[in-house]
Amino acid sequence: MSFSAFAQIVKAQADILESDTAETVARKLSAAVAASVGDQAARTWIEAYLRPLLGLEGAERLSGDRRGEAFAAWRRFVEGLTAAGRVVLAFEDLHWADDLSLEVIGSLARRLADVPLFVVATLRVEEVAANPGFVEWRARSRPGDLGKSCLPVE
């Protein structure tokens, strides 16, 4: 599924289980968005773009010219999470992620450089060598930051 790596982060934040009904998923998502975003209009907008990630209606929002707006809504959700303190997003086995997931994760790492966000991703070393785009996510860091960068570790 496209965007599955980011969808897993949203599910974890909202405490959504595979066994949850669609109604339960919708309720948990609403609660998670409300906990991270104060403005009602922003919550409605963000939730509309998160719902398709979780198998709820609205898949058309993730394609074509609306993809940029989806990315902006997702960044706003993650930015809202950082309001309570530092946030670590961990992506495991990123070498299996689809191109769209990589695009959104890279977008988060680049565009949210001014918030307390640390993106950790594991992937095979040979994938780093074959795809230098993984390393280009390195963001600007300031003294005292968590070290916001993506570096290969052997």
Model confidence, pTM: 0.78
Of 24 and 63, the structure prediction assigns the larger pLDDT to 24
* Whether 95 contacts 123, CB under 8 Å: yes
Q: Where along the chain do its domains lie? A: 4-137
How many CA atoms are closer than 13 Å to the CA of 117, on its beta-carbon side? 26
Of 114 and 152, the structure prediction assigns the larger pLDDT to 114
pLDDT, tens only, 71-122 = 899 999 999 999 888 888 888 887 787 778 878 888 887 777 788 888 887 8
Q: How far is CA 58 from CA 42, 49, 84, 143, in A?
A: 17, 8, 29, 41
Nearest to 105 by CA among 114, 94, 96: 94
The pLDDT, as a whole number, for residue 151 is 44
Report the alpha-carbon distance of residue 137 to residue 119 in Å, rounded: 10
- The answer to whether residue 3 scores a pLDDT higher than 70 is yes
